[in-house]
Each structure stands twice: as structure tokens, then as C-alpha cells.
Amino acid sequence: MNTNSTAAYLAALKRFWWLGAVGVVAAGLAAFLMLYSLQLSPLKLSHRAKPTYSASSLLLVNSAANPYLRTAVSTAAPATTTPAPSRKGTASLFHSAPQSTRVATTHAPDTQTLVAAANLFPLLIESDKISTRRTHMYGTLAGTVTAKAIYSFVTPSRFKPSSFPVIQVTAAASGPKAAKKLAQETTSAFTSWLVANQKASHVPPSERILVQELQAPTHATATGRAKKSLPLAIGAFVLAAFLGLAILLDRLIPRERTSDRQQPAVVA
């Protein structure tokens, strides 16, 4: 683009400046309406794309033996009795008491049971039983809850279980506080349900599976927010259209020449 063309465009925009002003207003309005929705009755302004907030908590599936803090577990074998040797020459009315011995054995801690429970518990966390218990404990909460064993992989045709006894509970809601509250109270409801069922089944405390919170849902992440790049692009396109119209009108409507405007009238 040479200097003469640039000067001609600037002159056209200066001549039809009002089209440029209308273009700026139209561009701003177009970008604004891409982000917000205007309701007339009643008058209300709202975002077109409302963000969804999600918060997560991490749960460790553990046991009273804490198998992840040790390399071996020692257990005592049942006592065995061996008859005491009899002494010759003693009366038959007197017998020596049998001697009992207990043999301690060591074995690797059981972690596979906990890993299997971590892959099963997400189905329980998402079930209606936990939802009903949460509502009974805390009232109705809006939002959705998903749970999975960490690093597990699920598709319609494939399932890869996790190798770690950690569960991720994720709650999604319309606000950050609601998402964090839903995740925390779902975790509490599941823990309460698990303990209540263990007691009802008379599971000894030493044999119970424990659920311990590793990470509380203290942070919420927003997803689904409207991107500003598209509204800005639409606004730029509208402004460019008005500026192009100003240049086109400048070419279609010839300017009044100064010599013609200063030429004296011919007297008959």
C-alpha cells in the first residue's frame, strides 16, 4: 500500500466519519451481545455461557494395620500342645501338664484388598444410597458428583483399574462455594455410611476398611466460561465492514471540486 492510497483511505474515513462512529458503536454492541443475553421483561442481563465450578477431594483407602507404613506383618500361629515327658518311677496319679508353644510368622502386608476396594467404592459414592444419606444429613444440594479411583481409565469399551488405593471425589455446581460444599459433604456422607454398615455387619474394628481424607476440597475450578476471542473477532469484523462502506461511498459519490464551487455564475 503506497502513500497515495493511504491518504485516500484516510480522506474517505474523514469524509464519512459518522460511519466510523456508528461502526464503533455497532462493533461494541455485537461483542457485548455475544457475551451477554438481555431480557426485556423483566429487564435482566445474564451471561450467555454460565461457568460451572468443580471441586475435588482425595480419599485414602486404608486399614487399621496401616499396610503402607510397613514392610511386613507379624502374626502368631495358633498354640500347639505337646505332651510333657513322663518320669519313670512316678505314680500314675501324677501327670505332667502338656506344654504349649506359639510360633510367630511374618508375611507381606495385604494391599490388594484395599486397591480392590478403591476401585469399587466410586460406584457406591455415586449411588442413590449415598445421595439419600447426604440429603438426610445436610439437606438438598444442587450439583452432580462423580468419583473414580485415581489414575483409573474408563471408556465405553475398556476399563483399566487403578493400582493405587486413592479415590477422587469431584463435585460440580453453579458456584465455587456450592461445589466445595457438595464434595465435602458427599465425602462425609460416604464415610458415615461405611462405618454404619460395618457396625451393622459386626465387622471387628481391626478388620475394617478405613477411608481417610488426604485432600479437602478447598479450591474450585471454573470451566465453560465464554471465550472473549470470538466476540472481539465479531466486533472487529463489524467495524471493518463500516469502514469499508465509508471507503466505498467515497468512491461512488464524487467529491465537489473546489473550482466548480468557486466558478462565477454566467449572466445572460
Q: Which residue blocks in 112-257 are alpha helix, DSSP H? A: 112-125, 128-138, 176-200, 229-252
In the prediction, which pLDDT does 78 show? 61
DSSP one-letter code for 199:
H
In the prediction, which pLDDT does 28 show? 87
Alpha-carbon gap, residue 110 to 67, rounded angstroms = 7
Amino acid identity for residue 41 in this structure: S
DSSP one-letter code for 67:
G
pLDDT tier for residue 135 given thresholds of 50, 70 and 90: very high
Average model confidence (pLDDT) for the chain?
Answer: 82
- Per CATH, is 52-72+106-223 categorized as 3.30.70? no
Largest CA distance in the chain: 174
Q: Indicate if the pLDDT at residue 1 is higher than 70.
A: no
Q: Please give the grid coordinates belonging to residue 82.
A: 505337646
In the prediction, which pLDDT does 223 show? 80
Segment 83-95 shows an average pLDDT of 54
Which residues in the chain are classed under CATH 3.30.1890? 52-72+106-223
Model confidence pLDDT, tens digit, residues 23-64: 899 888 888 877 777 777 777 767 666 788 999 999 999 998
Q: Is the pTM of this model over 0.75?
A: no
Model confidence pLDDT, tens digit, residues 141-194: 899 999 999 999 887 788 889 999 999 999 999 899 999 999 999 999 999 999
Q: Please give the grid coordinates belonging to residue 61.
A: 483407602
Model confidence pLDDT, tens digit, residues 252-267: 887 765 555 555 555 5
Model confidence pLDDT, tens digit, residues 101-131: 555 678 788 889 999 999 999 999 999 999 9
In the prediction, which pLDDT does 177 show? 94
